[in-house]
Amino acid sequence: MINRRDFLLSSGATVLTLAATGIVEAQTRRRVLTPEDMLPTEVRVKRGFNPGEIHVDPGQFALYWITAPRRAIRYRVGIGRPGLYIPGDFTIRRKAEWPRWTPTAAMIERTPAYARWRDGMPGGPNNPLGARALYLYNARGRDTYLRIHGTNLPQTIGHAVSNGCARLTNEHIVDLYNRVPLGTRAVLYPVRSS
């Protein structure tokens, strides 16, 4: 079971490792105490979820990494803005550390300031994809341009603010990234209307 102490120790080791590589800037090294309800937590889930799968519940702003029958690690996430969140059944076909970010034409149309990055932004602490990214592909094997990724804006966790992707804090995406192999199924459930 992951408890606050164990997670903080593993997160601290991750930050120290990243700092030692010279990739992490001072902003990331600054200690910010994550609220208890935002930490990854081992939880019991309903029957029918297979170990080794990811399930994103947009209504709860939660991503579940299924670890065993009826057991999962719950991570808090941010999701896509209304109209940009796309539910579906996907497969993780690519993983990247400090990924390069290239905005799509639709993103540039919505946010013209992104045009300066049309040829891509190198990975690093200021990159919108954060420390790690898991790339979601559809059943035909095509990249959907949806990602499960980190963020340099942890205050966006628990909100619908992205261009369609699910985002975790950088510390949490590093933890998830290390657990998830290529070929993992990722299910993003629809947003339920109230």
pLDDT digits (tens, 9 = 90+) for 25-38: 334 444 556 677 78
Q: How far, CA to CA in Å, does 79 sit from each of 5, 17, 86, 168, 191?
A: 27, 28, 10, 9, 10
Q: Is the pLDDT of residue 184 over 70?
A: yes
Active site residues: 149, 165
State the total domains in the chain: 1
Does residue 181 fall inside a structural domain?
Answer: yes
Non-local CB neighbours of 25 within 8 Å, separated by 6+ positions: 125
Q: For residues 147 and 127, is the Cβ–Cβ distance under 8 A?
A: no
Residue 193 has pLDDT above 80, yes or no: no
Residue 92: CB atoms within 10 A of its CB come to 20
4: left (phi over 0), alpha (psi -120 to 50) or beta: alpha
Q: Would residue 194 count as lying in a domain?
A: no
pTM of structure: 0.81
**Domain assignment of residue 182, given as a range:** 4-188
Mean pLDDT (the chain) is 86
Strand-pairing partners, residue 133, are 96, 149
pLDDT tens digits for range 132-142: 999 999 999 99
Whether 193 is covered by a domain: the verdict is no
Amino acid (one-letter) located at 55:
H
With a pLDDT cut of 90, the percent of the chain lying above it is: 76
**Could you tell me the CATH number of the domain that includes residue 61?**
2.40.440.10
Residue 160 burial (C-beta neighbours within 10 Å; 0-12, 13-18, 19+): middle
- For residue 2, name the pLDDT band (cuts at 50, 70, 90): low
pLDDT at 31: 52
